[in-house]
Structure 1
Amino acid sequence: MEEFSVVTGISRPTISKYFNDPSSVRHSTRERIEAAIIRYGYRPNLFAINQNRKFTKNIGIIVPHIVDPFYAEIVRHIELRCAEAGYWAIVLGSHGDPEREANAIEMLYSLRIAGAIIAPLGDSSAPDRIRQLASDIPTVIFDNHMNGEEIFVGTDNFQSMGLMVDYLCRSGEPPCFLDMPAVNTNARERREAYVRAMEGQGLDPFVIPVETTEWHFEELGYRTGLKLLPSRDLPWNTVLCANDRLAIGLIAAAFERGTVVGRGSPSALRVAGHDDHPMARFTAPGLTTVAQDYVSIAENSVTTLFDMIEEGRRPVDPVKRVEGRLILRASA
C-alpha cells in the first residue's frame, strides 16, 4: 500500500480509507484510485489489513472432521453468515486428533481472531485449553457439550431420540439400539435418551455395545452388521442407530448378507438413524431418521457470537438446545 501511494501520488491514509469504505472518499479521489488499481494491477493484502486493525474481523472455526457432512453443512452456513456480516471465517480441522485440536487453538490465538466457534472432539479434548480460549476470546461451542459454563448450541438429543423411539414403537416392534463409540457427550446423551424413552414405554432397553473409540462409523456399522445379522440374536427386528453413518454401514451389511431392510415383511429388518446425513435419502431403502436442524444450529451459533463480539453481551441462557424433526423413509 505504501508503494501504491508513491506511484499514484495519493496519501496512504486516503488509500487505506478507500479500501475500508470506498464511499468514504471523494468521488474524484475514488476515480483516481480505481483507475490506478487497474493500471498497476494492485491488490491489497486483506489479511494484513485485517491484522492491523484494533479489532480484527477474523472468526475461527474448529471442527473434528471437515469432510464429515454434518460439520461441512454447519461450516457452510457459518461461512455464509460471516461473509454477509463482513467477517472472515477461518476453518481448521482437528482430524480427530487431540494434539491437532490443541495446535488449532494455538493457531487461533496467532490469527488474533475476534471470536471462535468450536466443535470439540469430546473426551479426548483438552477442556482446560478450550475454556481458557473461551475466557480470553468470545467463543461458542457447538455439537458437543463439555458440561461446563461454556456457551453451547446443539441438538436436544433427549427430544430427538425420544421422538424416534416413540415412532418405532407405534409403527412396529420396539428398537434395539446400536451404540456409537463413547467419543463425546452426544454418544452418552443419545444412549441415555434411548434408555429413558424405552423405559417410558414400559420396555426393557437393548443396547448393542461397541468397543472402539474410532470415528469411522460407517465401517463400524458394517462390521457390526456382518456379525449380528447371520444369527439375528436380537429381541426385535428393529435397530435404531446412534447416528446415520452407523445406519448406512448396517444397511450395507444387510445387503451383503441378503437381509431385507424396510417396512412390510415380518422378517425384514427395520433400520433407523439420527442426523439426516445428506446421503440418508439415497440409501437403499431410504433411511428413516431424525434431522438435526443444521441452519438453526449455525444461525444460533453465529448470532450469539456476534452479540458477544459487537455488544459485549453474554447470553442470559448459555445453552441453546435445538429440536430434531422426524424424517420418514422406507427403511423403518
Structure 2
Amino acid sequence: MTQMKESLQNRKIRWGIIGLGNIAHKFAKDLLTIQDAELYAVGSRSQEKADDFADQYGASKAYSSYEALANDSNVDAVYIATPHALHKDNTLLCLDHGIAVLCEKPFAMNATEVDTMIARAKEKNVLLMEALWTYFLPHYQFVLQELKNKTYGNILKVEASFGFFREFDDNSRLFKKSLGGGSLLDIGIYPIFAALSTLDVPKSIQAKASFFDNSADSSCNITFHYDNNVTANLNSSLLEELPTEAIFYCEKGTIKINRQFHCPSTVSLIVDGKEEIIDFGYNTIGYNYETVHFNKLLRKGKTESDIMTFEFSKQLIKTLDDIRDLVKLHY
C-alpha cells in the first residue's frame, strides 16, 4: 500500500470541484453530509465565482483556473461538472496530476474520447468513474435486484422517458450544440441507461429526432429491440413535459419507478391491479451515494468501479453514438 493510500485511512478525502454550475451546487451540498470527505478546493474560470462558491460550502481553496486546482497536490479527488464538451480535457488534466476523477455524465462527447480517458486512467493507475448518479440510488439498486431475481418473471417491455419544456436560449449550455447541448446527451442518456442497465445492449435500434434551428436535438424517440420481441421505448424532450418514469413490464407484474425516476424517487410494485408503493426515505439530493461509493474505491486503492464499470461506460457512449448516427446528429 502506498503512503498516499495509508494516509487516506486516517483523514477525510479532500475533494475538488471543477466547473461551478447548478449540478456542482447539488454535489457540494450532498458532500457536506459525508463524514469522511470534505470540499477542499473549487475551480472556475472566474475568481469571483470560485470565491463565492468556496464561501458558500466552506472550501479551503478557490482557484480561477482548472489548471491551478489540478496543480494543488493536496487534492485527492475531483468532481468534474463542466459542460460535456470539456469532460475529456478536464479529466486528462486531473489524471495527469494523479488525481482521482469522478466525471459527470455523459463521460465525454463520443466513444473515442471515452477510450482515451480510460486508457489514460489505466496508464496512470488512477481511479476514474463516470458520475451517473442514478446507478447508486437505493431505489434503483432495489429495482435492479428485483429484476435480476426475476421476482416478477422476465422483462417483456421497458418504457422510460425524460422531458420538460424549456424556452430555447442559444446562449444556454443546455441548448448550445458546441457544448453537447440538446436532449440526447443531457437527459436522453437516462432512459437509455435504464434500458442498458436492465436489458443490456440491444440487437437493433430505431431512432428519430427533431431539431432546434441551431441543429441541437430538441427531442429523441428511440426503440431498442431485443430477442423474444422484448422492446424498450425511450424518449427525451426539451419541448414538453414527459412522464419521466421508468416502467418495467414483467411476466407476473410491473415495476414502476415514479416521476423523476433518475432522482431519489418511489417505486410502485403492481400485481393483479394492486399497487404497493415503496418509499426509500431519502433525505439528501442523492449525489452522496455515488460519492460514498467512490470514496470507498479510493480508500481501497481501486482504479475502477465494480458498478459503473469502464465496460458499461463504453457501452453507454457507443449506444449514444449509434443513436446520433441514426438521427444524423453530429457535433
| TM-score interval for Structure 1 and Structure 2 normalised by the shorter chain | 0.3 to 0.5
Specify which structure has the bigger relative contact order, considering alpha-carbon pairs within 8 angstroms and separated by 6 or more residues. Answer: 2
Structure 1-normalised TM-score? 0.40
Q: Which has the higher strand share?
A: 2
Structure number with the higher helix fraction is 1
